[in-house]
Amino acid sequence: MYSKRKRMNTLLRQTLHTGALILAGTLIASCTRTAQPSGEQVYTQYCAACHDQPATRAPPREALAQLSPQRILRTLDFGTMMAVAYPIRRGDREVLAQYLGKGQDASAIAPAALCSADRNILAGASSAPAWKGWSPTTANTAFQPREASGLSADQVGNLRLKWAFGYAGDFIAFAAPTVSRGTLFVGSAGGAVHALDAQTGCTYWTYQAKGPVRTPPTLAGEDENPVLLFTDQVGGVYALEARTGREVWTMRVEEHEATRLSGAITVHEGIAFVPAASWEESRAVDPKYPCCTFRGSVSAVRISDGSVAWKTWLVDPPQKTGVSPAGTDLFGPSGVGVWSAPTVDAKRGLLYIGTGDNYTHPATPTSDAIVALDLQSGAIRWIRQTTADDVFNAMCARGGASNCGPDHDFAAPAMLVQTPSGRDVLIAGQKSGVVYGLDPDDEGRILWETRIGVGGTSGGVQWGMASDGSKVYASVADPVRTAGDQGSLTVGNAPFDPAKGGGLTALDVLTGNTLWHAVPAPCAPPRDGCSPAQPAAVSVIAGAVFSGSMDGHIRAFSADDGRVLWDFDTQRSFTTVNGVTAQGGSIDGPGAVVVNGMVYVNSGYPRLGGAPGNVLLAFGIDSNLP
């Protein structure tokens, strides 16, 4: 154990080319890695009890053999078997999929889905309206001005479905699209990245990544050959030619097997800032797992060739801290993943990130914090922690661990908001249900804090807020499970209270005062997987705020008073432009993307117990309506 001051000083000294720390992390990972089991061994341990028993509802082993290894791996990563696969290491999943799957993966694009010769990719001017990453700008305010949105608050009520695109073979739709120069780029749980025509949904090209892709691709460069950057959920970083889908380079920013890249890449002056979190928090459900050794980080990657300019870890190299009751070695400190897109403050030369909890003791001052890094070197300039001693892993969720924290990550990007008066305020929303206003000129001093929800492991501000400069718009999840439900890791159609959870609040940027609060409508009719919770990221245009809900609805609210201006229920089946059978479900994760008179929304996120789905929906103005 060591003092908080010493930990802080150690972290503040971290800078570029920290080769010794890289070696230390690699050695820890090596010490905790066991020999790779065979596919048969993994099957016997995790799968045979269900799939070898004809009396169960699980498909028999013979049926699994008809599937491709890729399909089985997708099912384990982000499909119906996701909850079972949490404790299984990625390498074990891969050998299991190869052992079971003997079929072929049908991945060819249907000819009818391809764009015709007169539809050219990236045909618009570089100055055309765009949404080129998590947000239209690196301030991460999710605000699209009138000239770029092509949509006014008065027109929102006339939005109608223009086209739908189905993710083949997927159970979940969780990847935010990027739109630029008339082209839409979007990833999928199956790892397919698609380039589509933004107006019609026809397909230009498809690229297959090595793991699920949930981050919005980020476009870099305004010339004739822009680069498309994105990450996958198993640690891969990719650069493609945006016009052709040709791979330029790939790399990994972390070698830890549990690496999970959920935060979007932010680009600034030729550098891609890549945040890293991990699955290791869930690995703790296995008493034989040596928990935990992952270290959250941010890497500055040169777009030109994929080399690393600097790397900053958020905890020191873990050391052995003891032995578990099962006789397994324990390690710490660990965790402090970065789940969301970094925010650029070019004026101050800083990069802002929000961090998650520690997985194991000792707790560190960097967890549950907003951290400012130097843009050029990655050195930590200041840390503003709001919840201390938050040590949490999956055993806490299952009641099998003591001395656990509340799991109050900062999972949403911080927003650098410039007010009409010209003052900058850094806004941060936490899973605690509290939104903070911070002073970027005074090392993140808290200017105000306002509670807008109950908060919790699956509650509070989950994915993202929005701001138009004068107001902050923040929704909360706060779903309520029905009495007696123990399925904390249930994937899809969990029993929720149909009338509790959610809420959208507008706050004054300068004071944090509540200006209005919109109470969500209860599920109608009540059904499994349905909750009024609003975990999805929020987006805003002039006069209107878009917020999705676990009940499957995407709604537009008046920015003035919270009145509902438009409401569309996505939880139904859709005819798609690519011929894939598609179903909408709960809306969670990314928010609506608004560009040039169109609104794009993914539907189908069962991770927290909501309804599954696999569809991307595109809405536009019905010109026949007044």
Cα–Cα nearest to 338, from 377, 280, 298: 298
* Structural tokens at position 132: 């080129």
* Alpha-carbon span 253 to 256, nearest angstrom: 9
Which pair of tokens denotes residue 270?
């030729």
pTM over 0.85: yes
Phi, psi dihedral angles at 277 (to 5 degrees): -130, -165
Q: Is residue 352 a contact partner of residue 426, using CB atoms and an 8 Å limit?
A: yes
Other residues' Cβ atoms within 10 Å of the Cβ of residue 363: 25
Domain ranges of the chain: 141-176+456-626
CA torsion sign for 47, 285, 342, 91 is negative
Q: Are strands 504-508 and 471-475 parallel, antiparallel or unpaired?
A: antiparallel
Query: At how many degrees (to 10) do helices 39-46 and 90-100 cross?
Result: 100
pLDDT at 22: 36
Distance CA 257, CA 235 (A): 8
Q: Give dist(CA 439, CA 416) in Å, integer.
A: 10
The pLDDT confidence band at residue 46, using thresholds 50, 70 and 90, is confident
Peptide bond into 129 cis (omega under 30): no
Q: Are strands 192-197 and 203-208 parallel, antiparallel or unpaired?
A: antiparallel
DSSP state, 579? -
Local confidence band at 106 (pLDDT 50, 70, 90 cut-offs): low
Using alpha carbons, list the distances in angstroms from residue 222 to 126, 128, 219.
6, 11, 9
Cα separation of 7 and 12, whole Å? 9
pLDDT one-digit tens code per residue, 546-603: 999 999 999 999 999 999 999 999 999 999 999 999 999 999 999 999 999 999 999 9
For range 469-475, the mean pLDDT: 98
Q: What is the per-residue pLDDT for 597? A: 97
How many C-beta atoms surround the C-beta of residue 533 within 10 A? 31
Amino acid letter, 508: D
CA distance 135 to 215: 12
- Identity of the amino acid at 280: E
Kindly report, residue by residue over 169-225, the tens digit of the pLDDT. 898 999 989 999 999 999 999 999 999 999 999 999 999 999 999 999 999 986 778
Q: How far apart are CA 161 and CA 574, in angstroms?
A: 10
CA–CA distance, 444 with 382 (Å, rounded to integer): 8
pLDDT at 21 over 90: no
Our measurement of the distance from residue 108's CA atom to the centroid of its chain's CA atoms, rounded to an integer in Å, reads 27
pLDDT for res 30: 41
- Nearest residue to 414 via CA among 440, 433, 392: 440
